[in-house]
Amino acid sequence: MLLTNRGFNNLFDEMFDDPFFTRRYDNTSVQVMKTDIHEKDGNYIIEMELPGYAKEEIKADLKDGYLTITAHKNETKEEKEARGKCIHKERYTGTCNRSFYVGEELSQEDIKAAFKDGVLCLQFPKEIKKPEDQPKMITIE
């Protein structure tokens, strides 16, 4: 095989310009946080796919009627060069989040959350029953 004047290093540079090695990040949070919402037995159930995330990397918070799920990943593990000189490495570091309006009547105590096998499951009641206000008696002097 005859190598042209491109040189050895340029050969590898051109190889990694191939579309096979190109990543496209079009709206990453939607691609990673695929979500299904169901209604069952008077509850809403949100199932969100978070493959590759650990439970400790996921946070859910409720503020002003919005339920926000945030997942943060920071991969910085380094491998020894047991296989020889490394030509190309890829790591992902980033944060993605999704928000859903669930109503201002909902409180944190109303939401049940579980994470298993890369799927976050959140369940909360469809309707929040407000305690009936008892009439407040006014003392007449």
Fold exhibited by the domain 27-75+89-125: Immunoglobulin-like (2.60.40)
pTM above 0.85, yes or no: no
Q: Which helix (H) or strand (E) holds 111?
A: none
- pLDDT 10s digits, 102-133: 988 899 999 999 999 999 999 999 988 776 66
Segment 41-83, tens digit of pLDDT = 999 999 999 988 899 999 999 999 999 999 998 876 655 566 6
Say if strands 66-74 and 58-63 run parallel, antiparallel, or are unpaired. antiparallel
pLDDT in tens, 21-41: 444 444 444 467 899 999 999
- DSSP secondary structure, 22-74, as one string: ----SSHHHHHS-EEEEEETTEEEEEEE-TT--GGGEEEEEETTEEEEEEEEE
**Beta carbons within 8 Å of 87's beta carbon, 6+ residues apart:** 12
